[in-house]
Amino acid sequence: MITKERRVSRDIRHQRLRRYIRGSAERPRLAVFRSLSHIYAQLVDDDGGRTLVAADSRAAQVRQAHRSGGNVQAAKAVGELLAQKARAAGIGRVVFDRGGYKYHGRVKALAEAARAGGLVF
């Protein structure tokens, strides 16, 4: 269980990043959230205040291939799924928001899979 005290440092880092990172309809923000058991990614238009595309490790496509949603292989699958959905929606360029997490492990795997799937950031 993540307590409020443990989460404060990530929230501070995330707010610091969000001062500079902003998504638009032409170039949405790829926001990443990871929990212990799953990873979530969405493309957000901050100007319009809406989510354009979303993918997570709870999706049926990811669950069929991976038993656990909290590992690097599942994060790669989520990145590929997000890139497919983004291409179908006509989105090619995004701004990456790592959500206050370090750029390694599951976050890095998701980002690299999204890049390999055709997203540019």
Per-residue pLDDT tens listing for the chain (121 residues): 566 787 899 999 999 999 999 999 999 999 999 999 999 999 999 999 999 999 999 999 999 999 899 999 999 999 999 999 999 999 999 999 999 999 999 999 999 999 999 999 9
Q: Measure the CA–CA gap between 95 and 28, rounded to whole angstroms.
A: 6
Report the DSSP beta bridge partners of residue 11: none
What domains are there in the chain, each with its CATH number?
4-116 (3.30.420.100)
pLDDT at 21: 94
Name the pairing type of β-strands 50-56 and 95-97: unpaired
Q: Measure the CA–CA gap between 101 and 87, rounded to whole angstroms.
A: 26
pLDDT at 1: 58
